Amino acid sequence: MRVLVIGSGGREHALCRSLKLDPQVSELHCAPGNAGIEEIATLHAVTPTDPGQVASLATRLGADLVVVGPEAPLVAGVADAVRAAGIPCFGPSREPAMIEGSKAFAKDVMLAAGVPTARAHTCANPEEAAAALAEFGAPYVVKDDGLAAGKGVVVTGDLAEALAHAAACGRVVIEEFLDGPEVSLFALCDGATAVPLQPAQDFKRAYDGDEGPNTGGMGAYTPLPWAPDDLAEQVMREVVRPTVAELARRGMPYSGVLYVGLAMTAKGPKVIEFNARFGDPETQVVLDRLATPLAGLLMACANGTLAGQPPLVWRDGSAVTVVIAAENYPADPVKGDVIRGLASTPDSYVLHAGTERRDGEIVANGGRVLSVVGTGPDQATARARAYDLVAGIELRGSHHRTDIAR
């Protein structure tokens, strides 16, 4: 099977790594990729959000399957263009991808499907926003309606800050604060059938102790020793299947991965957000534990044969990933510094996110630069192995959290 992966982050490196390990994959391509992916796949220069460019690259390569990593190409209609070219594609079409692309659309689908989530109002102007903030009270949750690369959500106790964010965004969703630990659950979907992957937890704030600004994610681990055994099944029953059925009913069948971001509240799991793609960095740990070969599974999603797949097989033990971020991430990350000390062991390895090769050296060229993965029979061992590898990596000005999976 010839596979083309679209994207350039740690998630795409994890996807490529698993695809490379699948004996069914004869050729692996990635566009645009990064310096780590370059070691296992052939890279191609492409604008990932340009549907025509991606479809013609896939055609030229004779790809059997295209896997779209990030949300922006999905919302731009890349999966539609690839399918229109007659090539199976892993990732939802433009319309169902609005489950991530518009917070208001996601809320509307959840309401129609009876999915547990925060009560919310969509507000078109500052007056409506002020009324909604007063109704729900502090802590205030204000979300930009559109895609905002992780910067659209403000959670604050400060009413003035909440009002200012609402005014700056225009159309916003304001909702009640959900209290409880967060869990990410990914469900593979083929338009009709959905299959859960193992739940993971992500660390969204930039600094230790959940301090500092929201980021794309600073680390993750799986499995969750503290979560109930039937969590995945409960979320499938209460969230995923009703959502997939509601989208199908609206004539926009969902194929790809549905990312369910949950808060484990006192009243049970409630949806914080949906994403139309794998989470980053949760994917790095979830795929590490998945023993079922990945290519056949993603192909089954793309061609509607998920129901015929055997049950997923998982490796025992734990995986932990720690993100190394560039100086001044998430505000305005510093690019161009050289990375040294990259290494691996039988139980730990480095996935690249924002890196590129320049004059024979590997340099940082994004906010989240590396995602270091440790594995082991239990979480403490996996964590220690990840941090051992982190300790040897040099990148001037970089920062990482020291409390991931503690």
Q: Which of ligand GLY, ligand AMP, none binds 272 (CB below 5-8 Å, type-dependent)?
A: ligand AMP
Q: Which of 288, 270, 269 has the alpha carbon at shortest distance from 278?
A: 288
Residues 46, 48, 52, 56, CA torsion sign: positive
Question: If contact means CB under 5 to 8 A according to the sort of partner, which of ligand GLY, ligand AMP, none does residue 27 touch?
Answer: none
Task: Return the number of the residue (51 or 219) whose C-beta is nearest ligand AMP.
Answer: 219
Degrees (nearest 5) of the Cα angle 235, 238, 263? Answer: 55
The footprint of ligand AMP on residues 289-308 (CB under 6 A) is none
For the chain, the first-to-last Cα distance in angstroms comes to: 40
Task: Report the C-alpha gap between 250 and 295 in whole angstroms.
Answer: 29
CB 216 within 8 A of CB 321: no
Among 98, 169, 189, 272, binds ligand AMP (CB under 6 A): 272
Give the shortest CB-18-to-ligand AMP separation in angstroms.
Answer: 25
Work out whether 185 is an interface residue with ligand AMP (CB under 6 A): no
Q: Which partner from the list ligand GLY, ligand AMP, none does 178 bind, CB cut-off 5 to 8 Å by kind?
A: ligand AMP
Residue 40 contact partner, candidates ligand GLY, ligand AMP, none, CB within 5 to 8 A by sort of partner: none
What amino acid is encoded at 398 in this protein?
A: S
Report, in Å, the least distance between residue 270 CB and ligand AMP.
8
CB of 26 to ligand GLY, least distance (A): 30
Indicate the residue among 14 and 129 with the shorter CB distance to ligand GLY.
14
| CA pseudo-torsion sign 23, 184, 92, 194 | positive
Q: Is 43 exposed, middle or buried (0-12, 13-18, 19+ CB in 10 A)?
A: middle
> Do residues 266 and 179 make contact, with C-beta atoms less than 8 angstroms apart?
yes
C-alpha distances (whole Å) from 90 to each of 69, 78, 149, 150 are: 9, 11, 21, 23
CB of 154 to ligand GLY, least distance (A): 16
Should residue 178 be labelled a site residue for ligand AMP when binding is judged by CB under 6 A? yes
239 is a contact residue toward ligand AMP (CB under 6 A)? no
- Give the per-residue contact string, 136-155, with ligand AMP (x = CB under 6 A; - = no): -----x-x---------x-x
Specify the long-range contacts of residues 224-232, CB closer than 8 Å, at least 24 apart.
Answer: 224/183, 224/199, 224/200, 225/379, 226/181, 227/183, 227/199, 227/264, 231/183, 231/185, 231/199, 231/269, 232/185, 232/196, 232/198, 232/199
Q: CB of residue 383 vs ligand GLY: minimum separation in angstroms?
A: 18
| Alpha-carbon span 90 to 19, nearest angstrom | 13
217's contact among ligand GLY, ligand AMP, none, with CB below 5 to 8 A by partner kind, is ligand GLY
282, interface contact from ligand AMP, ligand GLY, none, CB < 5-8 Å by kind: ligand GLY
Taking the CB of residue 327, how many other CB atoms lie within 10 A of it? Answer: 17
Q: Looking at 127-135, 170-178, 224-232, 375-383, which segment touches ligand AMP (CB under 6 A)?
A: 170-178
Question: Which of 209, 195, 229 shows the shortest CA–CA distance to 308?
Answer: 195
Q: Where are the beta strands (DSSP E) in 172-288?
A: 172-175, 182-190, 194-196, 201-202, 205-207, 211-214, 219-222, 255-265, 268-275
From ligand AMP, ligand GLY, none, interface partner of 280 (C-beta below 5 to 8 A by class)? ligand GLY
**Residue 126 and residue 134: Cα distance in Å, rounded?**
12
Q: Output 7 or 216, the one with its CB closest to ligand GLY.
A: 216
Looking at this protein, which amino acid is placed at residue 21? L
Pick one of ligand GLY, ligand AMP, none as the site partner of residue 19 (Cβ within 5 to 8 A by kind): none
Stretch of residues binding ligand AMP (CB under 6 A), selected from 59-67, 172-180, 246-254, 304-312: 172-180
Give the shortest CB-92-to-ligand AMP separation in angstroms: 18
Closest CA to 107 of 124, 123, 120: 120
Contact between 175 and ligand AMP (CB under 6 A)?
yes
CB of 216 to ligand GLY, least distance (A): 6
User: Contact residues for ligand GLY (CB under 6 A)?
Assistant: 202, 216-217, 275, 279-280, 282
Q: How far apart are CA 289 and CA 58, in angstroms?
A: 29
Closest CB to ligand AMP among residues 141, 294? 141
Our finding on whether 206 is near ligand AMP (CB under 6 A) is no
Residues that bind ligand AMP (CB under 6 A): 118, 141, 143, 153, 155, 175, 177-178, 182, 204, 214, 261, 272-273
